[in-house]
Structure 1
Amino acid sequence: GGEAGLEGAGRARRAEPSRAMEDPTAGRALRRFTWEEIGQRSGRGPEQQERWLVIERKVYDISRFYRRHPGGARVISHYAGQDATDPFIAFHLDKTLVRKHMSPLLIGELAPDQPSVEPSKNKKLVEDFRELRANVEKMGLLNPNRTFFILHLCHILVLDVAAWLTIWYFGASTVPFLFSAVLLGTVQAQAGWLQHDFGHLSVFSKPKWNHWVHKFVIGHLKGAPASWWNHLHFQHHAKPNCFRKDPDVSMHPLFFALGKTLSVELGVQKKKFMPYNHQHKYFFIIGPPALVPLYFQWYIFYFVIQRKQWVDLAWMLSFYIRFFLTYLPLMGVKGILGLHLLVRFIESIWFVWITQMNHIPMHIDYDKNLDWFSTQLQATCNVHQSLFNDWFSGHLNFQIEHHLFPTMPRHNYWKVAPLVKSLCAKHGIEYQCKPLLTAFADIVHSLKDSGELWLDAYLHK
């Protein structure tokens, strides 16, 4: 990263020496840039290979570094040509350390006549959100209560043991088999929410501690790779519901037409991978019940082998070894395979309904380079708070707060929610919060609506 940054700085100085200035902190000549110049370095297009971005008025050349970015090449590239100040603050715990590693990439700063906020964005809203973020830190809402997470882990382990004891004591007949499967399905869902906490660095003050436990929870308790989750999930958070940048919506055109813009676009282009006007019906078949057992189950192994993530593979295998060693003597090969498939089926239904209720009914479009607050609010909605909803969804019923403050421990979402609502009211931004069953129904309604838009465009345009 250092060599790439220094070389990029050298290119910049040679290109426009007349605009160079002396940066006393870096001890080297740096250029001054306009927002227009930054926007031209987005890395998009066959002739555009340079990638620049802005963080706190400083301009960084990530043209070569982005491939080595610890958070993933795509997530940082999604902000090429844009201001990345707010996502930088949102995603990184130890900002001082990260800034030191960024130093070789520094090639300049915004010219004095350039505003701190991109001209296309709502300056007052950006400033108000940054003030809110500062107040959140002062209030200690980013500080975790580790007892909460320890108890959550303990309840997962208790359910896991209870599932095995059920088969051990009562045998593998139908009733104990199904009861054990429900317990293990609950383990998988709740471990999914817990690994999500560690993946977002929400539990420990040191990123590496979160990374270590994350591998244990997602690898040993769930049989999935941390690298795969990081690769997909941080892109989703950086640009939620942005086609070609959020993988959660970019992979859907093969099966679903999502959102008003993309549905019409598919129809105009006469693309019919599926009969999208019936997608609200076949969603119940190829959506919740099939995603984990029929897609994720094999793809995660392909992912770790193709990318040579051998540590993740070892953690995954430890899950399967433990599962087979503990259940094989009680059930035999057919029984254990049936149990595993049923558990994945239960997990899949739980996972899909919860993760899609906050996003699928919301605005889906190409990246419009909106400010951080607007980007998250137009793509997310909340579900009413209750003890059950909090537990059942892993506090993802507070999806708005989670997206605005991704490193915030989930037990503090309810505390920051009134502040977020006030900011929305001040700027006339809708803050959507609905009952759980309504949120589920809205998934189906939005699929039906976008399917009809696709059909109309397909037949008449």
Structure 2
Amino acid sequence: MPWNITYRSSKIMGRGSKNCYPPLSVDDQQEQSSIMTTTNPMIINNKNDKRQYTWDEIRRHSNKKDRWIVIDKHVYDVTNWIKHPGGQVTLNHYAGQDASEAFLAFHPNLALVQKYLKAFYIGDVINDENNDYTTDDQRLKHDFEQLRQKAISKKLFQPSRFFFIITCLHILALDFAAYFVLFRFGTSWLSYLTALLCYVIAAAQCGWIQHDLGHLSVFKKPSWNHVVHQFFMGFIKGGSADWWNNMHFQHHAKPNIIDKDPDTRVEPLFLLGNQIPIRKAQMNAKYGTNIPYNLQHLYFFIAAPLLFPLYFQFMTIRYAVQRRKWTDLAWLSLCYIKLFSLLPLKLGLLGALKFLFLVRAFEGTWFVIVSQSNHVVMDVSYDDLKLSWFRLQLKATCNIIKSPFNDWFTGHLNFQIEHHLFPTMPRHNLYKIQPDVMNLCRKYNIPYIVKPLGRSFLDILTSLEKSGRMWLHTYEDLIYATSTKKN
């Protein structure tokens, strides 16, 4: 490997994790970025009659009924931006905040999106002094912008046609093979298992390609990404592309942030991190109801396989119906028409339902263990306005060691850190930017965590067990305190 590796033990990292840094080198030739800052709490008018706002004023507009965001020192009132492609909730998460780095990360075609922003422009920040950021983070933002410009100059945001053609073809081939095996070789246990395996792999890998398309990282034109995304998510996977975008962009905007990242809102079954268990225990003690969260690391093996057959199946269709996403509904309807017009011919109706349930169960387990191994074991906390984009993503994300199998099995999300920093970068290029990301981590003393695949899966259970134990201790202490007070 082209960098030195050091080891750092941590309960969060788990045994076998690596805190890796390459030899330090900073490319000073890259274009410098602007730095955001704040000033005194007053509002003035400039010569062009465009208002100028202080950060104190901007922060007062921080809810869904009155939301302002700042991008590159320009203030936008996006309260009434109903058709924001990334969803209104994502805008809510940055209301009253500087969204400059998130804006750059999410939008590959800046010239296009800036045309839409003009309608919402209301003024500028008085000057560029944002006291939310420390001097160290100001420098980090500057260096990260240099790194982004370096990635652009090295054409790391340009997709490989060959890679994505092969990826799409192998998914379509496996989807076809599942039906071919059943119709050609019958329903013996061997052909049934072979067809099931083909369908599960096709569905799981479809999850990764639709993820690429949702991030606009396959085609240069956003419209092409959207159309093909709807096809794979709808026709192959049976879900709503818009539903996925709405949920996933929130996750990327505020990863592991309580009440903002939907991946942390799983209290009906699971409690994550150190703060949610305490909050939940307080509610349980107050209302006298609870779920045995101290056993969540055990019932994880039951809940994970049921995620897709129950939750995904229901939520994605309900979303498309409620939001009137007719294109999504058309594609996912074709998926189920295909399933229930072909599978019952060989398996019968109940057999087809059983087959689909098994596909969803295995596919869901695959997705859960990959996606959660990068996040659930990391810090889960409330929003911190003083965190730059780089620190926000590194705090909530870790990687899995690179190998041909790991790359394929995880859809290159073993490079989750790089993906979160550069969500529109094609996944086949993520490893190329990794050494530079590690340089920045070393320079600013930010942990960069890499784990073996097996270790990352085990750490999910370790993390769930720790959070469950924290809930139980807090709950028991509160119940004891309440009973003592009554006596």
Normalised to the residue count of structure 1, the TM-score between the two structures is 0.91
Partner residue in 2 for 1:246 = 261
Q: 2:252 aligns with which of 230, 237, 247?
A: 237
Partner residue in 2 for 1:263 = 277
8 Å Cα contact 1:33-1:109 kept in structure 2: yes
> Is 2:377 aligned against 1:361?
yes
Following the alignment from structure 1 to structure 2, what is the Cα–Cα distance between the partners of residues 139 and 116? 33
Count of aligned residue pairs for this structure pair:
434
8 Å Cα contact 2:73-2:128 kept in structure 1: no
Q: Secondary structure at the match of 2:66?
A: coil
CA offset at residue 278 of structure 1?
0.9
> Is 2:435 aligned against 1:415?
no
Following the alignment from structure 2 to structure 1, what is the Cα–Cα distance between the partners of residues 42 and 100? 27
Q: 2:305 aligns with which of 268, 289, 294?
A: 289
Closer, same or farther in 2 for the Cα pair 1:335/1:431, shift >3 Å? same
Q: Which deviates more from structure 2 when the two are superposed, residues 175-184 or residues 376-385? A: 175-184
Deviations 1:203-252 (A, max 9, x none): 111111100100011011111111110110000000011111111112x1
Deviations 1:407-427 (A, max 9, x none): 000000110011111100100
Closer, same or farther in 2 for the Cα pair 1:118/1:430, shift >3 Å? closer
Q: 1:192 aligns with which of 200, 207, 210?
A: 207
Q: 2:50 aligns with which of 30, 33, 36?
A: 30
Q: Secondary structure at the match of 2:52?
A: strand
Deviations 1:136-181 (A, max 9, x none): 1111111100110000011112212222222122211222112211
Closer, same or farther in 2 for the Cα pair 1:117/1:131, shift >3 Å? farther
| Mapping of residues 28-427 of structure 1, within 5 Å | 29-43=49-63, 49-65=65-81, 67-112=82-127, 114-115=129-130, 118=133, 122-250=137-265, 252-270=266-284, 273-286=290-303, 288-369=304-385, 370-427=387-444
Opposite residue 270 of structure 1, the aligned amino acid is: N
Q: Which fold has the larger relative contact order, with Cα–Cα distance below 8 Å and residues 6 or more apart in sequence? A: 2
8 Å Cα contact 1:182-1:346 kept in structure 2: no
Q: Secondary structure at the match of 2:76?
A: strand
8 Å Cα contact 1:198-1:211 kept in structure 2: yes
CA offset at residue 116 of structure 1?
9.2
Closer, same or farther in 2 for the Cα pair 1:223/1:120, shift >3 Å? farther
Closer, same or farther in 2 for the Cα pair 1:345/1:122, shift >3 Å? same
Partner residue in 2 for 1:458 = 475
Partner residue in 2 for 1:449 = 466
8 Å Cα contact 2:284-2:475 kept in structure 1: yes
8 Å Cα contact 1:279-1:447 kept in structure 2: yes
Q: Secondary structure at the match of 2:246?
A: helix
Q: Secondary structure at the match of 2:148?
A: helix
Following the alignment from structure 1 to structure 2, what is the Cα–Cα distance between the partners of residues 108 and 323? 53
| Alpha-carbon RMSD | 1.8
8 Å Cα contact 2:257-2:382 kept in structure 1: yes
Following the alignment from structure 2 to structure 1, what is the Cα–Cα distance between the partners of residues 145 and 131? 12
Deviations 1:373-428 (A, max 9, x none): 11111111100000000000100111001100000000001100111111001000
Closer, same or farther in 2 for the Cα pair 1:18/1:242, shift >3 Å? closer
CA offset at residue 18 of structure 1?
7.9
8 Å Cα contact 1:57-1:116 kept in structure 2: no
The structure whose residues are more often helix, as a share, is 1
Opposite residue 397 of structure 2, the aligned amino acid is: T
Following the alignment from structure 2 to structure 1, what is the Cα–Cα distance between the partners of residues 117 and 62? 18
Deviations 1:99-148 (A, max 9, x none): 12111211111213635974698211111111111111111111100110
Following the alignment from structure 2 to structure 1, what is the Cα–Cα distance between the partners of residues 284 and 431? 45
> Is 2:36 aligned against 1:20?
no
Following the alignment from structure 2 to structure 1, what is the Cα–Cα distance between the partners of residues 100 and 371? 27
Following the alignment from structure 1 to structure 2, what is the Cα–Cα distance between the partners of residues 394 and 228? 20
CA offset at residue 257 of structure 1?
1.4
CA offset at residue 296 of structure 1?
1.2
Partner residue in 2 for 1:4 = none
Following the alignment from structure 1 to structure 2, what is the Cα–Cα distance between the partners of residues 124 and 117? 13
The unaligned stretches of length 5 or more in structure 1 are: 1-15, 24-28
8 Å Cα contact 2:106-2:424 kept in structure 1: yes
Q: Secondary structure at the match of 1:169?
A: helix
Deviations 1:70-91 (A, max 9, x none): 2100001110111000110111
Opposite residue 223 of structure 1, the aligned amino acid is: G
Following the alignment from structure 1 to structure 2, what is the Cα–Cα distance between the partners of residues 436 and 289? 19
Following the alignment from structure 2 to structure 1, what is the Cα–Cα distance between the partners of residues 136 and 93? 17
Opposite residue 477 of structure 2, the aligned amino acid is: H
Following the alignment from structure 2 to structure 1, what is the Cα–Cα distance between the partners of residues 298 and 191? 33
Opposite residue 295 of structure 2, the aligned amino acid is: H
8 Å Cα contact 1:256-1:274 kept in structure 2: no
Following the alignment from structure 2 to structure 1, what is the Cα–Cα distance between the partners of residues 473 and 283? 12
Partner residue in 2 for 1:8 = none
Normalised to the residue count of structure 2, the TM-score between the two structures is 0.86
Partner residue in 1 for 2:483 = none
Q: Secondary structure at the match of 2:50?
A: strand
CA offset at residue 329 of structure 1?
2.3
8 Å Cα contact 2:284-2:290 kept in structure 1: no
Partner residue in 1 for 2:14 = none
Q: Secondary structure at the match of 2:62?
A: coil
Runs of 4+ in 1 over 4 A off after TM superposition: 115-121
> Aligned residues: percent identity?
45
Following the alignment from structure 2 to structure 1, what is the Cα–Cα distance between the partners of residues 184 and 84? 50
8 Å Cα contact 1:117-1:123 kept in structure 2: no
Q: Secondary structure at the match of 2:305?
A: coil
The unaligned stretches of length 5 or more in structure 2 are: 1-40, 479-487
Opposite residue 190 of structure 1, the aligned amino acid is: Q
8 Å Cα contact 2:42-2:54 kept in structure 1: no
Opposite residue 213 of structure 1, the aligned amino acid is: V
